[in-house]
Amino acid sequence: MASILEIEQLNVSYNGIPALQNVGLQAEKGEILGIVGESGSGKSTLLKAVIGLLGDNGRAESGRVVFEGTDLLRVPAKALRGIRGARLGMIFQNPGTSFNPIRKIGDQFLEAMRSHGKTDRTAAIQQILEMLARLGLRDGERILYSYPFELSGGMNQRVAIALAMILRPQLLLADEPTSALDVTVQAQCVKEMMDLRDSLGTTILLVTHNMGVVSYMADKVAVMYAGRIVEYGAKADVLNCPRHPYTRALIEAIPQIGGGAPKGIQGQPSAAKGTPDGCDFSSRCRFSDNICAFERPVMNDCGQGHAVFCHKCFSEVLHEGVRVNGY
Amino acid sequence: MKVLELTDIKKTFWKNKQCFSAVDGVSFSIEKGECVGLVGESGCGKSTVARMITRLEKTDSGEIFVNGENVTRCKGKALRDMYRHIQMVFQNPVDSFNPRLKLGSSIGEVLANFGTPRGEIKQKVERLLVQVGLEPAMAMRYPHEVSGGQCQRAAIARAIAIAPELLICDEATSALDVSVQAQIMELLFRLRKETQMSYLFISHDLALVQSICDRVLVMHRGRIVEAGDTREVIEHAAHPYTRLLLASVFPLHPDPQWKIPDVPTAQGEEGDACRFWQRCPSCGELCRTERPSLRKLNERHDVACHFAE
Ligand SMILES: Nc1ncnc2c1ncn2[C@@H]1O[C@H](COP(=O)(O)OP(=O)(O)OP(=O)(O)O)[C@@H](O)[C@H]1O
Ligand SMILES: Nc1ncnc2c1ncn2[C@@H]1O[C@H](COP(=O)(O)OP(=O)(O)OP(=O)(O)O)[C@@H](O)[C@H]1O
Ligand code: SF4
Ligand SMILES: [Mg+2]
Ligand SMILES: [Mg+2]
């Protein structure tokens, strides 16, 4: 089966400084790909590159982003606008980005639906209210009459989820869609996204810091560090038997109910550097040795599509299970 | 000594000629050096409480005391003095920065306003950035030129710049991966030890709250429904809403037994009823006619439910 989305050798930079380096991944129809990783590692940049909204100083330098057979990096701006919304939906990390701050929420929904051919106002409003209710927003009427600043953080986030889902896209790019939600509402929203996938076969790229949500939703997981994908594979492989030292350290830092204060990874978080050699994680890595500081690792195949960007991924020490907060 | 005390504060908003009660009588206090967690449903009024404390939102009724002084309606110099004691990390970091100022200038501005000599500002800003895990060069970026989590860390740097006595963190780590989050928690923990800083820590992450807070308050639809020592509340949750929250946390390693709890959505207005009754598994006759108020379960645990024990 042909992948619905195929990203190859993608390089992106801001003002000439690299933010993504040789990123590649595929997603099939109906698949959910979880993307986790360090703050600043390029997760949002990856989603923005797919939808073509990198901003004034961002540039896709090379690579391909093939969606349903078309390379989005080479599509004229006008055609891209037609694809956005209807076939390709995005939930931005900052819900404010999805909305015009000085227009009422309801008007913005209606406009988006009209521009994609849904013209019956009463039916549209009914549809919006139903969607909002499914996301746990009880007073939909009030929300439609509100401006974004009159809603709480989590209400705005859910309205943004609703706006992205109401056009029933084939590919949904979700950047931290539930970070402002309490856990009960989060569970409801996760359920709605899964339902969209189940009923329509929507493919979802899900960026989140919440490992529980990744673990529930994702089929495959990509872990990012300093502008690269450093580990990639089936969810069970990546979360249960992580082979990259960064992934292991990340999983060990998850706070658990009943656990003590979690420990972070020593050293400064690092941005993509684009330096010619060495592993970007080597100065913070528990397992690093000489070779790590001087030679850049390659993507090693650890079997069954489990790919790891590390010199040591075959070594015995990385085969033990991870400790989660002392458990 | 109490750094902060709120007595029965209330806030209603008008929308579409209808009044909407966002905060409906909230009281609590925070001791010096204490870390108090505030959790609850999205839209239940947590940020509004924080915005009332920092006076970004007027208080309709009730009083707010900072270090024993009534600041509910203070103005001018008194208000400025209050900001020396209280700083806040806003829920939406990107919007809390002036988009036309570089991050370094925004942080420097706070330092300058509270008396740091011009010559020392640049160096101090860089030190603060390193403390929150950012490169000093980030000072030269605009808010829209950094990642979500980097902007959030810059907001934390700005809030701790003048070492306030009370730091209000409104979802202050929601955009951080767990490792960077742990580093920020270590920083806050150190500040607390060194300067006796107190925290009001608003968060949706129950595990995080549980690992750092001394006490926790659970809010639901404008009111506090459960409060007490963190361990006590998490281990012996008494309010059905708190229990629902705890049951809704996605486990890390998928447990085949675990399912998303199935709860009905509430509809319409409740009038005098308990605001949770439509979703409550243990709702009785009394709940539909009388709203429960906060009562003591034991020395370290309060709950607002007719049937909790
Ligand atoms: N408009 C921009 N101009 C310059 N640099 C940028 C811009 N946007 C992002 N960056 C930089 O690119 C890197 C990747 O940013 P990105 O937003 O993709 O990170 P992220 O993985 O989404 O992080 P977070 O989890 O904190 O949101 C960061 O180091 C950031 O500072
Ligand atoms: N300026 C305003 N005008 C009208 N209503 C408002 C305004 N600010 C907040 N509200 C309403 O008050 C309620 C409480 O909002 P608040 O932001 O305090 O929630 P919250 O508990 O912080 O939620 P979240 O966890 O989603 O951030 C919401 O229903 C919101 O719509
Ligand atoms: S390549 Fe070396 S330094 Fe990099 S993650 Fe692997 S072991 Fe650690
Ligand atoms: Mg991001
Ligand atoms: Mg809020």
Which chain A residues are Cβ-neighbours of B145 within 8 angstroms? 14, 57
**Mean pLDDT in residue range A80-87:** 86
What is the band of A326 on the pLDDT scale with cuts at 50, 70, 90?
Answer: very low
Residues in Cβ contact with B103 at an 8 Å cutoff, skipping those fewer than 6 apart: B97, B138, B139, B140, B141, B142, B143, B146, B151, B154
CA dist., res. A176 & res. A210, Å (int): 9
What architecture is domain A3-218?
Answer: 3-Layer(aba) Sandwich (3.40)
Nearest residue to A17 via CA among A224, A175, A226: A226
**Mean pLDDT in residue range A70-79:** 91
Pick the CATH number of B2-238 from 3.30.365.10, 3.40.980.10, 3.40.50.300, 1.10.1740.10: 3.40.50.300
The dihedrals phi and psi of A306, each to the nearest 5 degrees, come to: -90, 110
CA dist., res. A143 & res. A92, Å (int): 19
* Each residue's pLDDT tens digit, A173-204: 999 999 999 999 999 999 999 999 999 999 99
Residue written as token pair 């931290």: A176
Beta-strand runs (E) in chain A: 5-14, 17-27, 32-37, 58-67, 70-71, 88-91, 171-175, 203-207, 220-225, 228-234, 299-301, 307-309
CA dist., res. B123 & res. A159, Å (int): 42
* Cβ neighbours, 10 Å, residue A200: 15
CA dist., res. A273 & res. A275, Å (int): 5
**Mean pLDDT in residue range A53-66:** 93
What is residue A320's predicted lDDT score, i.e. its pLDDT? Answer: 66
**Mean pLDDT in residue range A167-178:** 95
Quick one: tokens of B4? 């902060």
Asked if ipTM goes beyond 0.90, one says: yes
CB A257 within 8 A of CB B237: no
* Each residue's pLDDT tens digit, A212-255: 999 999 999 999 999 999 999 999 999 988 999 999 999 999 99
Show me where the domains of chain A are located: 3-218, 238-309
Q: Do B150 and A40 touch (CB under 8 A)?
A: yes
Which residue's CA is the nearest one to ligand 2's atom 1?
A: A150
* Each residue's pLDDT tens digit, A107-122: 999 998 988 877 789 9
What is residue A115's predicted lDDT score, i.e. its pLDDT? Answer: 84
CB A112 within 8 A of CB A167: yes
What is residue B264's predicted lDDT score, i.e. its pLDDT? Answer: 78
Which chain B residues are Cβ-neighbours of A244 within 8 angstroms? none
The dihedrals phi and psi of B302, each to the nearest 5 degrees, come to: -115, 150
CA dist., res. B92 & res. B80, Å (int): 23
Query: What is the percentage of chain A residues whose pLDDT exceeds 70?
Result: 94
Q: Do B147 and A39 touch (CB under 8 A)?
A: yes
Note the Cα A231 to chain centre separation in Å: 15
What is residue A327's predicted lDDT score, i.e. its pLDDT? Answer: 38
What is residue A273's predicted lDDT score, i.e. its pLDDT? Answer: 62
Number of CB pairs, chain A paired with chain B, less than 8 A apart: 196
DSSP-derived secondary structure letter, B82: H
Write out residues in chain B with pLDDT < 50, as ranges. Answer: none
For residue A291, the ligand 3 atom closest to its alpha carbon is 2
